[in-house]
Amino acid sequence: MPRTKDGGGFSGPLSVIAVVSIALGVLVMVMAVCILRGFQGEIASKVVGFGSHLTVSNFASSPAYQEEPIVLDSTLVERIQRVPGVRHIQYFATKGGMVKTADQIYGIMFRGLSADYDTTFFASNLVEGRLPVFSGASGFSGTSGETGTSTDVLVSSTIASRLRLKVGDKMRTYFWGGDTPRSRAFTVCGIYNTDLTEFDELYVVGDLRQVQRLNEWEANQVGGYEVLVDNFDRLDDIALNVERELPYDYSVQTIREANPALFAWLDLLNSNITLILVIMSLVCAVAIVSALLIMIFEKGRTIGLLKALGATNASVRRIFLIKASRLIAEGILIGDAVALALCVVQQQWQVVKLDAESYSMTHVPVDIDPMIFLLVSLGTLAACLLALLLPAAYISHITPAQAVKIEN
């Protein structure tokens, strides 16, 4: 039988197989975690883009088409801004309406934004035209009358396609206000697309002062505050601290509470990650255990000779564990390197595409987090080393006499 660098027999090829198996296992685990984390982050960022992390509203408000206003209070806003973890506070109001064209009627939610609203999300998803420009103040001062109220609106590509609207077109919209509907003529200044169907089919974005005029609110009345935080993982703690600063008739709602079904689905994806990690860790462990067992069987005479010369079981085991650890480390490094290369390629060039209607995004997202690579590598190393205890224990049962007999 041909000899190999690792000592001949089956141990050489089996060592290569073990390294390849571990590398593939690590590759699959890292890619699975990076993709699922990227998917969760992408969906969460889109939902937050429409509704922020926390929403402060009037306790009497209900999920209907008519909001109860709250009064902008500079003292309250300053107290909320001082809560640890709060990054930005902005103001909004929403109102239900219907867009009427020559041959269609379409229900929408008009989302009015303040002049200092963080429009980064809409800018990143803008596909045509420009963002609305809201001049003037955004709440504590300014007018709610005709002067300075923008008629620019941002519509989704879904709504634009269904109503055959283009940038620059006029959009006649009717709103409910008591017994008499009120009509407004808006100009489509831009078209956005987030691929999040339930939001793209509903929201039209415009000036907050339009809602103030329609509801006959004062200039310092808005539908609510939106609070952006700097750490999503601390969302519940920050919400609790914000709630302590609010009057009794105000309530705070997290984005998770506003979209429980969606976030429950995202959390369910974690069980898929766990299952993949467990299965691939077992594959890696079986591969390295098989390689070490064959190595021990092939080196039976050498083990017996070493023991005859005075070597202890612990010292012999150490030799084989060091060899196996080298194979594990080699497999982990190769797997990490290939996974990183694939993640970078996908992130930069978006090679793998998705059906936007089914997945709410056009490409496979990846989250390249060094902690993912580190934790997967350490977990694989720990699982493999733990699995090696069983074949390593077999060494203590090999005696010099048995080794010579097996060899003969």
Q: What is the pLDDT of residues 131-175, one digit of tens each?
A: 998 865 455 544 334 457 899 999 999 999 999 999 999 999 999
For the chain, the maximum distance between any two Cα atoms, rounded to a whole number of angstroms, is 103
Other C-beta atoms lying within 10 Å of the C-beta of residue 220 = 19
Q: Residue 277: which residues within 8 A CB-CB, separation 6 or more?
A: 29, 32, 33, 376, 379
* Mean pLDDT lowest among 169-173, 277-281, 362-366, 390-394: 390-394
* Mean pLDDT lowest among 30-39, 286-295, 329-338: 286-295
What is the DSSP-derived secondary structure letter of residue 257?
A: H
Residues 149 and 162: their CA atoms lie apart, in Å, by: 27
Beta carbons of 218 and 139 less than 8 angstroms apart: no
What integer is the mean pLDDT of 121-129?
Answer: 95
The pair of three-digit structure tokens given for residue 177, joined into one six-digit string: 């206000």
- Domain ranges in the chain? 11-45+263-407, 60-247
Residues 122 and 224: their CA atoms lie apart, in Å, by: 19
The amino acid present at 111, given as its one-letter code, is R
What integer is the mean pLDDT of 120-138?
Answer: 85
Please indicate whether residue 211 or residue 142 has the higher confidence score (pLDDT). Answer: 211
Q: Residue 213: which residues within 8 A CB-CB, separation 6 or more?
A: 144, 145, 146, 149
pLDDT value, residue 122: 95
Residue 402 pLDDT class (50, 70, 90 cuts): low
pLDDT value, residue 331: 95
Residues 35 and 81: their CA atoms lie apart, in Å, by: 34
The pair of three-digit structure tokens given for residue 19, joined into one six-digit string: 């390294």
> What values do phi and psi take at 114, rounded to 5?
-80, 165
What are the DSSP calls for 325-389, one per residue?
A: HHHHHHHHHHHHHHHHHHHHHHHHH--SB--HHHHSSSB------HHHHHHHHHHHHHHHHHHTH
What integer is the mean pLDDT of 216-231?
Answer: 93
pLDDT of residue 36 exceeding 50:
yes
Please indicate whether residue 230 or residue 307 has the higher confidence score (pLDDT). Answer: 230
How confident is the model over 74-119, as pLDDT tens digits?
999 999 999 999 999 999 999 999 999 988 999 999 999 998 899 9
